[in-house]
Amino acid sequence: MKKKRKYSKEFKVSVCELVLKDNLKPQEVADKMGLNVVILYRWVSEYELNGEEAFVGTGHPAPAGAELRKLKKENERLQQENEILKKAAAYFVKHPAER
């Protein structure tokens, strides 16, 4: 069983820049650095997508991802509140308060 290797952000960025800025072939870079070419392609894609915000580390959400999760959670809460208010309105229509 192989042990999972961890690479620093700086290493990943430098390897991606070899591919993107120095125009080296991904297969050559992967062979030279002892990497699986599939991993290198994944790193390059993430680096192209997120730039300097790429490779934030395990358990640390990317800033855009964290904001998206926050908005989804708030949206879910607001939908639940809306459903409660609809049910309350329906109840009060059926059972008007006597004055």
From the first residue on, what is the mean pLDDT of each consecutive set of 10 residues in the chain (99 residues)?
Answer: 82 93 93 94 91 75 73 95 94 78
37: buried, middle or exposed (CB in 10 Å: 19+, 13-18, 0-12)? middle
Sign, Cα dihedral of 80, 86, 89, 90: negative
What pTM was estimated for this model as a whole? 0.58
Tell me how far apart the alpha carbons of residues 72 and 7 are, in angstroms, rounded to a whole number. 31
pLDDT at 58: 66
Q: Where are the alpha helices (DSSP H) in 1-99?
A: 9-20, 26-33, 37-50, 63-94
Please list, residue by residue across 40-51, b when 16 or more beta carbons sit within 10 angstroms of its beta carbon and e when fewer do.
beebbebbeeee
